[in-house]
Amino acid sequence: MAPPSQIISPADASIILKHAASSCGHDECPDLIHTTNAAEGQEPVLPLYLRSPEHFFNRDLDCACPESDYENHTGGCECECECEEECDDDYCVDECGCEPCLAEKSACSPRLRLERPEGIRDIFESVYTNRIGPYRIAKDHQLDYQLCTARELKGFVDARGLQDLYPAGTTLKPLYIRALQDADRKATFRFLDLPAEMRNLVYAELLTFDVETCPHRRMCYAQILRTCKAAYVEAKEILYDNVVDVRFSAQVKPIEHAGGNDRLETGALVHNTLVTQRGKTDFGRLLNCTAIYPDFLKRITQLKLSRSLTDDPSANRLPEFAHRGLAYLHSCLVTLTSFLMDQHCLHSVQVDITKLGRLEDEELIATLRPLRRLRNVSSMRITGDCREELKARIANDVNGTASVPNTLKQMQLVISHGQAAVRLGGLTNPLFGHRPCGSYPSECGYEMVDLVQQHLDAILCGADDRYAHFGLFESARKEKILQIRLAKIQDALSDLHMDMVRKNLELLEKAKATKDEYFDGRVDPDETKLLAGYYTDYETDYDSEDSEW
């Protein structure tokens, strides 16, 4: 192989030396200065680290870099010769002429290290041979050119149709790497021209993760979905084929400053993300209990549910913790199934109750009953201490297609409308709360507001217990009673004429404004008559004490 100094042009030498200077950091090195100046028109004289191996035999190498930088370039010899001769730092290649020693001549000789910058020594190790540098590490999802030999890089250059600067057979690794990296930065690849089978393999490699190997640090590379609409349409199904883990936890935490008492901390995690936070939202808040779940749960195909009452098995024997833990688990299942009932793409559901402890059949049936509200799920697998009969019953229900009313969703709508009607009735009806129901019939239907309030109190009876209202879903009988009460509230709300209530509210606002003007001395006599006429219908129904309002 001819020495590089015989074939490298001044322009190419300038490119190499600029890269070497940036890697070494020694801008004042005489070899670099001399060769750079030569690149402007004179015959180039290459520095030692780019010359052929024959240049170093029987030569005394001496670097002109400052003495203070000696430690930055030197290091002990770690080469292992095939000839098994004892390697000496200064005379390794002089004693042995085998190819490994020839390669180590440029890597281990401390004098040669002075002449070869760190970046060139580590990256371009195969300037003279086909061996790679000793410090190179492969990069994820990318071919590291530093791990390739010079002949392999030359093959890449020829295969990609790039210009080979030295077609005569000389292989200089730094120039090939530079040419390939420049081509990579400017390259475009028509991914959609690949066959559909190959594209699916790429999508599966990027968008799926192994549940078993790393359950707590699962991730995928979803950035490919942002490239174009076609890739999004093709790959989104593969993304949603992942098994999404939903975990409900309840742990007993001691409170040291409260006399050693314990409390039960609860939480729900969807794909390792906490969705319940104290002070923001919780399952105990009925009207927003389903809003905490992310929408992507409606598009996944595989779901895994896991739950443990506590990390301390001895705490399961405490009645208060066991009861509250089961109530919390039941509320979690009620809200999750209600969230998925109207729209889901589930094919498989796994339920892990191995850490739930041993429960009575009645407790387990009531706790897992919300799962039977799902439909069109082909596979339901329950692991844990559960009778096979109950597992088969749940699997048979979720595999069916019969419609099931979403009672929780209906309950949220009816209660929100009922509470709004009660508040509005208290604002617009002067006698609201002062007379029994039915004693003040009017064209607005205010007599129905008390009826709505009674049914709301019956449903929300467990104000002290955060999860009491979810007990209405423990059995089919309780849920049927709840549906009847909701129907009665809807009938009462239909008898409440909201257009008249809205009109009374506008009159009330106008009367209050007239009152303020009257006390300011700017009242109109006609407006005073209107204010008096607004309350004519109620003058015979309340005494002087009530009239002071």
pLDDT, one tens digit per residue, over 173-219 is: 888 888 888 888 887 888 888 999 999 999 988 888 765 555 555 67
Helix, strand or coil, per DSSP, at residue 267: strand
pLDDT level of residue 62 (50, 70, 90 thresholds): very low
For residue 301, is pLDDT > 50?
yes
Token duo for residue 287:
């009207």
DSSP string, 421-433: HHHHHHHH-TTTT
pLDDT level of residue 231 (50, 70, 90 thresholds): very high
For residue 130, is pLDDT > 70?
no
Task: Note the pLDDT of residue 195.
Answer: 92
Of 381, 431, 109, 258, give the one whose Cα is nearest residue 101: 109
Distances (CA, A) of 344 to 221, 393, 456, 462: 24, 21, 31, 31
444-472 pLDDT, tens digit per residue, is 566 677 788 888 888 776 544 556 667 78
How wide is the angle at C-alpha 132 spanned by C-alphas 126 and 136, nearest 5°? Answer: 130
- Average pLDDT of 379-403? 88
- Residue bearing the bigger pLDDT, 97 or 341: 341
Helix (H) or strand (E) holding 247: strand 243-255
Task: Note the pLDDT of residue 98.
Answer: 53
pLDDT level of residue 264 (50, 70, 90 thresholds): low
Residues 405/483, Cβ–Cβ less than 8 Å: yes
Token duo for residue 9:
């042009």
Which residue type sits at 435? Answer: R
With both helix axes pointing from N to C terminus, report the angle between 476-495 and 407-428 in degrees, rounded to the nearest 10.
30
pLDDT, mean over the chain: 67
Task: Note the pLDDT of residue 230.
Answer: 92
Domain locations in the chain? 4-186, 240-398, 407-500, 508-547
CB half-sphere exposure, 166, CA atoms < 13 A: 23
Of 85, 94, 90, 86, give the one whose Cα is nearest residue 57: 94
Cα 331 to Cα 324: distance, rounded to the nearest angstrom? 10
For residue 89, is pLDDT > 80?
no
For residue 489, is pLDDT > 80?
yes
Of 249, 283, 243, give the one whose Cα is nearest residue 268: 249
132-160 pLDDT, tens digit per residue, is 444 444 444 567 888 888 888 888 888 88
Lowest mean pLDDT among 60-64, 88-92, 291-295: 60-64
- 3-class SS letters over 365-418: HHHHHHHHHCCCCCEEEEECCCCHHHHHHHHHHHCCCCCCCCHHHHHHHHHHHH
Of 509, 496, 488, give the one whose Cα is nearest residue 443: 496
For residue 349, is pLDDT > 90?
yes
Cα 197 to Cα 203: distance, rounded to the nearest angstrom? 10
Helix (H) or strand (E) holding 243: strand 243-255
**Confidence (pTM):** 0.57
Task: Note the pLDDT of residue 380.
Answer: 92
